[in-house]
Structure 1
Amino acid sequence: MTGTIAGIARHGRPKGPVETIDRVEVSLDGGIAGDCRGVRKPGGRGRRQVTLIERCDWDAAMHQVGYDLPWWARRSNLLVDGFDLPQVPGTRLRIGADVVLEVTRETDPCDRMDKLAPGLFAALLPDWRGGACSRVLAGGTIAIGDPIRIEEP
């Protein structure tokens, strides 16, 4: 099963403004270039270097709360379309030709979500609807429109 990267976003500091971009470098030590969450701390495991969310999950949450906010309001790095993100830590994802991510855990929603839309926190809870966290195993450049798929061992 293959999907596509439908959006790329980053924020340079915690709670800072989100910037949407068309292409970006992804690295082992820095995650998404220019994103504050991607830097792997000395001795750290980098479990949250890159976050991903499914377009259909975001759309379902928006429908549930009766709002129409852009996907990047979730503060995820990558929006995927036509692809069911695996809910199994350790699963590897290939994006484009070079980038490989490893799913580490579910991206838990934070209380900030209810400030965006009442009920959004609860709407993101079921079935990993809030997305997945990942660490970078192989870097490279990714762009909107790149394919994403599960990397077989």
Structure 2
Amino acid sequence: MDEGAPGMNGMVTAVSSNSEYSFTKTNRERITLLAGLGVEGDVHAGVTVKHRSRVAQDPTQPNLRQVHLIHEELFAELSAQGFQVAPGGLGENITTRGIDLLGLPVGTLLRIGDDAVLEVTGLRNPCVQIDKFQEGLLKQVVGRDEAGNIVRKTGIMSIVRQGGPVRAGNTIKAELPSGPHLPLERV
């Protein structure tokens, strides 16, 4: 993918956060990204991992999941399968449109609005909580491609390189890393 190619630029359609552990996040007028930490006031913000299952494994792990982004196009796909998912419903902080999040390589920088910069770290790994949210949804967001490889559709994770406010309507511009592009793996 080259900068300016289809799927390299997009826009923010919603922002969400939650100060308590919950599967969903509340839509906000704006969120503030804090460099090296995540979303101000969000339960997953911090230098070390905050996701409960990962804290149980090793609470000193670096937090590669500071900000969760998901593509709004997934909601239309799920709606066609009979599921109703709205922004923030799957726990994402930033809902996007027009950018191929799942096709970005590790290390891609996402410039959002005037100030904020995220670095893509990997894929969100969907878990059984998705079926608690809506029964049968997990099968729709995790599958296999023709070669039998696992395909995860529930967005990407990132860290905050440069802080700033983010709101619906902000542009997103992707800058690919130099060198060989590594495909996204679950983080």
Instruction: State if a TM-score over 0.5 links the two structures.
Output: yes
Look up the SS of the partner of 1:73 in the other structure.
coil
- Structure 1 contact 4–145 (Cα < 8 Å) conserved: yes
Identity of aligned residues (%): 29
Structure 1 residue ranges (4+ consecutive) displaced by more than 4 angstroms after TM superposition:
none
Q: Secondary structure at the match of 2:10?
A: strand
Asked which structure has the greater CA Rg, the reply is 2
The answer on whether the counterparts of 1:87 and 1:106 sit within 8 Å (CA) in structure 2 is no
Match of 1:83 in 2: 99
Which of 28, 44, 47 does residue 40 from structure 1 map onto? 47
Gap runs ≥5 in structure 1 = none
The change in CA–CA distance for 1:75 and 1:17 in structure 2 (over 3 A counts) is: closer
Report the count of equivalent residues.
Answer: 152
Question: How big is each residue's C-alpha offset from its partner over 1:2-30, in whole Å with a ceiling of 9 and x where there is no partner?
Answer: 21100101111212763211212101243
User: Cα offset for 1:152?
Assistant: 4.7
C-alpha offsets along residues 101-133 of structure 1, whole Å, 9 cap, x if unaligned? 111110011211112222211211244410000
Q: Structure 2 length as normaliser, TM-score?
A: 0.74
Instruction: Report matched runs for 1:110-125 at 5 Å.
Output: 110-125=127-142
Contact 1:87 1:128 in 2 (8 A): no
1:7 aligns to 2:7 (yes or no): no
Matches within 5 A, 1:3-152: 3-15=10-22, 18-41=25-48, 44-64=61-81, 66-85=82-101, 86-126=103-143, 127-152=151-176
Contact 2:27 2:87 in 1 (8 A): no
CA contact (8 A) 2:69 2:96 kept: yes
Separation (CA, whole Å) in 1 of partners of 2:13 and 2:30: 11
Give me the whole-angstrom Cα distance separating, in 2, the residues matched to 1:89 and 1:10.
Answer: 24
Contact conserved, 1:55 with 1:79, CA < 8 A, in 2?
yes
Structure 2 residues not aligned, in runs of 5+: 1-7, 50-59, 144-150, 178-187
**Residues 15, 168 of structure 2: 8 Å contact kept:** yes
Q: Report if the CA contact (8 A) 1:24-1:143 is conserved.
A: yes
CA gap 1:17/1:104 in 2 versus in 1, 3 angstroms: closer
> Could you tell me whether the CA contact under 8 Å between 1:26 and 1:139 is conserved in 2?
yes
Is 1:58–1:129's contact at 8 Å kept on the other side of the alignment? no
**What is the root-mean-square deviation in Å for CA atoms of aligned residues?**
2.0
Distance 2:104 2:176 in 1: 15
Following superposition, the deviation at residue 73 of structure 1 comes to 1.4
